[in-house]
Amino acid sequence: MAIRNPFRNNKVKETDDLGFGTRITGDRDRLIAKDGSYNVLRVGNWSWSPYQDLVEMPWSKFFLVVIAYFVASNLFFAVLLNLVGIDCLSGVKHGTWLENFQQAWFFSVQTFTTVGYGSISPSCISTNFVAAAIALFGLMSAALATGLLFVRFSKPTSQLVFSKNAIITPYQGGLSFQFRVANKRNSRLINLDVKLTMSWVDTNPDGTRQRRFSRLKLERDKVVMLPLNWNIVHPIDEESPFWERTPADLQEMNVEVIVLIEAFDESFSQIIFANGSYCDEEILYGVKWKPMYHADPSGSGKTVLELGLIDEVVSIG
């Protein structure tokens, strides 16, 4: 195989294994999925964080969980009230066990939410104590549910959009690897910092295969603001692992370029991170970017940024 050990004799420095390790688990597996998540499954005594789960699940599932919790808690208290004595709730109209149960559930809901109409109210010591417990439990539950709701609502959503493809394109007399990002929202991102690492599979002299990593140098790895788009440029020089590689080489090496962007989101007052990755089949050749911004034709004096153009390239030569 021609590219066994491709960089062992040149100037490519292997660095920073990104925490992915170098043992090969499967040649054609991505390390970072296209949505930015890690391609890793955690087994054994891993620990579950209900908070994280509740914050990261989709909205529809979150509301289902809240409603299920609300219904189930009050079912439990309705059972308890029936056991303690439905007669001890004044305002309840005696009926079948189902009707009694329904009314106990409604009373529980009215207490849990602290609405407390009073059309049903506790009339014995026993039910008064149960009602006190329901109210306290309801206050605590509401704190969790509404706190989670607000954390979800105020969490900075993924706002950095990456170009679907990267390109290899002329740059200052040589070649460069480029992709671009933009902010989908009108928020202010400040102090952006990008790190690029190339990962590829290499065959050792003994025939075993190993993943290797090399940090890619950038023309600029920090910008202080991101009002428009940011074209991230890795110049392909002698120290680059792209140096003198053909598209076929890159495919055989199972190349993946892993991106980590860090920034401060001023609107949300939080540090945000964005992950991305480009595999060899997502690299285009012989093209350059189509500009994404221009003066506002209506003469407002503003610059117009067209987010829909982020993936657009034009053929060169």
Instruction: Find out whether 178 and 169 touch, Cβ atoms under 8 Å.
Output: yes
Tell me the C-alpha distance between 266 and 245, whole Å.
Answer: 41
Residue 50 or 85: the one with the smaller Cβ distance to its own copies is 50
Residue 31 or 245: the one with the smaller Cβ distance to its own copies is 31
Residue 2 or 224: the one with the smaller Cβ distance to its own copies is 224
Q: Whole-number minimum distance, CB 246 to its own copies, in Å? A: 26
Residue 238 or 296: the one with the smaller Cβ distance to its own copies is 296
Tell me the C-alpha distance between 305 and 228, whole Å.
Answer: 6
SS3 149: helix
Give every CB contact of residue 85 below 8 A, 6+ residues apart in sequence: 124, 126, 127
Give every CB contact of residue 106 below 8 A, 6+ residues apart in sequence: 120
- The enclosing H or E element of 192 equals strand 189-203
Residue 109 or 250: the one with the smaller Cβ distance to its own copies is 109
- CA angle 166/310/185 to nearest 5° reads 125
* Tokens matching residue 278: 């480009």
SS3 176: strand
Residue 2 or 41: the one with the smaller Cβ distance to its own copies is 41
Residue 106 or 171: the one with the smaller Cβ distance to its own copies is 106
Q: Whole-number minimum distance, CB 202 to its own copies, in Å? A: 17
Q: Whole-number minimum distance, CB 127 to its own copies, in Å? A: 10
Q: Whole-number minimum distance, CB 234 to its own copies, in Å? A: 17
Q: Which residue has the tokens 């920090």?
A: 222
Q: Whole-number minimum distance, CB 143 to its own copies, in Å? A: 3
- CA angle 46/50/54 to nearest 5° reads 130
Residue 149 or 284: the one with the smaller Cβ distance to its own copies is 149
Q: Whole-number minimum distance, CB 190 to its own copies, in Å? A: 6
DSSP 214-271: EEPP-S--EEEE-SS-EEEEEEE-TTSTTTT--HHHHHHTT-EEEEEEEEEETTTTEE
Q: What are the C-alpha distances in Å from 89 to residues 78, 80, 96, 131, 145?
A: 12, 12, 16, 10, 28
Q: Whole-number minimum distance, CB 292 to its own copies, in Å? A: 9
Residue 71 or 83: the one with the smaller Cβ distance to its own copies is 71
Give every CB contact of residue 39 below 8 A, 6+ residues apart in sequence: 29, 30, 31, 32, 33
Q: Whole-number minimum distance, CB 171 to its own copies, in Å? A: 15
Q: Whole-number minimum distance, CB 152 to its own copies, in Å? A: 10
